[in-house]
Amino acid sequence: MIKLLRQFHRIWYLFWIVFFFALFYPLYYLTSRNEKYYGILNFCRKINSFLSSCLSGIFFSFTYEEKLDKNQTYIYCANHSSNLDIMIFCIMGQGKYHFMGKDELLKNPVLGIFFKTIDISVNRDSKISAFRAFKKAGENLKKGMSLVIFPEGKIDVHYPPKLGEFKNGPFRLAIDQNIPLVPVSITNVWKINWDDGSQYGSKPGICDIYVHKPINTAALVIDDADVLKEQVFHLIDSKLVK
């Protein structure tokens, strides 16, 4: 019975996502054509995510270790265990920001329009694709667009998920671009909707997100990337529900 209810909730939750996506689609289409409208596009993503989550009984509680500067460009690094993770950053993000994600998202009926325009897709198995993706991300950071990235590169197939090994790219990029890096611990979202919800369904609830204080990379050099990666890994892992 519980499994059936969770599957019903997943259908309800997906209905609202698709409903508001269709409602906002004309705005998404228009604002994705020109970079100067990306701030409006992201505001629409925020409203889309907020409304669809609220009507599904899913709410997000953010704890900030230190207040973030809304005028600062950041690289956000977070653990990845649910499709809700993207929604979290759509609600949390301000101004111009973009995601980097797997190239399979280009074919996603909802996310595809974003990964063909504002967001960056990457083939995890291709070094050339990764090089191009981080080159593009560097160009966007210089334009003042914050980057949201999940350094694990994928969602753990085990339930409950465990924090996987991080890729080097985000940390080298943060140092190279002299951009503050913000570790984010998405602590219990897998209990609400693990992965895409197809196996375990979803349920109403409160998702807890801990936003660590930014790490200044100004004094670091590229050789410090591994140390930075380990630091961020342990910070994120320290807040996860075991």
pLDDT tens-digit series, residues 117-160: 999 999 888 889 988 999 999 999 999 999 999 999 777 777 77
Residue 194's pLDDT is what?
86
Q: What tokens does 22 get?
A: 């269709």
**Taking the chain, what is the end-to-end CA distance rounded to the nearest angstrom?**
26
pLDDT mean over 108-120: 94
pTM, two decimal places: 0.93
- C-beta of residue 103 within 8 angstroms of C-beta of residue 122: yes
**Of 139, 223, 214, 216, which Cα lies nearest the Cα of 182?**
214
**Of 96, 104, 197, 177, which Cα lies nearest the Cα of 134?**
177
Residue 201's pLDDT is what?
87
pLDDT tens-digit series, residues 206-220: 999 999 999 999 999
pLDDT band for 195, please (50, 70, 90 cuts).
confident
**Distance (Å, whole) CA 32 – CA 187:** 31
In order of start, what are the domains of the chain with their CATH numbers? 2-238 (3.40.1130)
Percent pLDDT > 90 in the chain is: 79
- C-beta of residue 171 within 8 angstroms of C-beta of residue 228: yes
pLDDT tens-digit series, residues 64-96: 999 999 899 999 999 998 989 999 999 999 888
- Average pLDDT of the chain? 93
